[in-house]
Amino acid sequence: MIRTLLAIIATTIPLVVGGCAENRKGRDVPSDATETQVKIEVQDQLMTAEAAKQALLDMSENQIPSGVLVPKPKEAPIEFETLEQISIGIYECNLKTRTFHATATYPKAYRHQHNEVSGVFERREDGKWVAKVTQATSMDAHPKE
């Protein structure tokens, strides 16, 4: 009987003093729930070149103002400049910062010679990436009279 009582005390004292396995405050090993949450957060931040290309192709033409003469993205191969920097036609994308930029120049045009579009990639609740134009400019080389 004393042996059983000592065995129970020997197993319960470390649990009481050290805390239960579920309560891991102050320990380096994260709980399973935290590991899963970290994996989901990291996965949400990753953007592939294919996802960026599809987001640009699906982008609405209405996002580019009519006075800015930058063509909508067209089907073109993905060119890798670095692991984070790609280009699809005239559109340059940074996968790490989730941004894009395109420039169209028409040197012989009297107006709208230099046109630029910049934007960001955002992830919707359903997991699909979308491209949103945040800035669009068109500049004339000739001063207005």
Tell me: pLDDT of 24 over 50.
no
Of residues 87, 91, 54, the one with CA closest to residue 72: 91
Which domain does 54 fall in, by range? 46-139
pLDDT per position as a tens digit, 104-128:
999 888 788 899 999 999 999 999 9
> Does the pLDDT at position 6 exceed 60?
no
Using DSSP's 3-state secondary structure scheme, residue 39 falls into helix
Answer whether residue 27 is part of any domain.
no
Query: What is the spatial distance between Cα 57 and Cα 64, in angstroms, rounded to a whole number?
Result: 13
Instruction: Look up residue 35 and give its two tokens.
Output: 């590991």
- Greatest mean pLDDT among 18-32, 82-96, 130-144 lies in 82-96
Q: Is 65 inside a domain boundary?
A: yes
Closest CA to 115 of 67, 61, 60: 67
Residue 142's pLDDT is 60
Residue 21 lies in a domain: no
77 within a domain of the structure (yes/no): yes
Percentage of the chain surpassing pLDDT 90? 55
The reply to whether 98 falls in a domain is yes
Amino acid 21: pLDDT: 47
In-domain check, residue 144 = no
For the chain, the domain total comes to 1
In a domain, 26, yes or no: no
Residue 22 lies in a domain: no
